[in-house]
Structure 1
Amino acid sequence: MKFKLAKLFTHTKGFTLIEVMSSILIFSILTLGMLTVFSQAMNYTQKSKNDTIGIYAARNMMNYMEQKDFTQMNQYVTPLTADSGSKKVLEKNICLVWYPIKDTNNDGLDDNEELRERCKATFTPSINNRDFLVKVELSKHQDGELQDSLIPIKVIVNWEDDNESTLEGFITHEEYR
């Protein structure tokens, strides 16, 4: 009895073991291919979500810095040169400089405590049970005519495993707001 390949696939009594095994193999290959696509999509979505939260923290800091007094911020920038490498980095320890501990009413309460805590919360926000660290880089505007009205600002947000988001903008003088 000779084995004929044509007879193998024209058999009408049911599926042979080879046909069943080959269909399972083809189905498995297609399924694994589809699962990797979904896995990559989930990883991309998670990274996008993390970047969005980082940009949100940076935008919050940008709004906070835009509300600060221009002359107060300009005193950090004035001693700098207009070179691209010259910058002043502000971190959460600046909150004690901006809002020192004082008791003007002699009632035992710190008058600046609420403002200082808000400042610290802006520099070290906790969003979705994740801690972020925010740094602000101030530099002098390279255009001499705009140095009295704009301060370039760069907000850098870091969080777990070397993730980073950056946002750039300007602090505008109060006359132009």
Structure 2
Amino acid sequence: MTDNTHTSNPADSDAPHALPDGRPVPRLTGDERAMLESWLDFHRATLELKCAGLDDAQVRTASAEPSALTLLGLVQHLAEVERNWFQRVAVGLDVPPVYEDGTGYALDAGRGLDEALGIWRREIARGRELCAGLPLDHVGRVAEGPVPGMEVSLRWVLIHMIEEYARHNGHADLLRERIDGVTGA
């Protein structure tokens, strides 16, 4: 007789697991914080995968007129988003924008993909470092935007970041398909 009371899922063990394309498998059960962080890491890795193997000219290819959206612009924008939600909102630091325009979408002829990805990774690492010891119920405050002073929990920030990456990864998927026909994931 087979015991079906426990189903093993490799994404739920402490050992890291990866999909064939190298992205981490997000946790499907277990601790809430670990699940949220693993899903955010999955979406971050998806963005990086969408940029893999492309040169600087390709990542500057715009989606479709009239939009000027590019993969390079998305990477830069998400560096700004990382800084804003983790450093400014969750922890309350008064830090300047990563890029002059404050959105990251504006392309600088001198900034290539490797530099933009390095900046993006640095912002991710800094946010992780600052938020590592904070509980999910930790409350931060939005300083600017449609509702200045609005309080949000770290849990809300993590959920919002998963949504932000998921939405932009849809854009990245369409951009990559336009550039070289690669689709999926």
Range into which the TM-score falls when normalised by the shorter chain: under 0.3
- In the superposition, the TM-score normalised over structure 2's length comes to 0.22
- Please say which structure displays the higher CA radius of gyration: 1
- How high is the TM-score relative to the length of structure 1? 0.23
Structure (1 or 2) with the greater strand fraction? 1
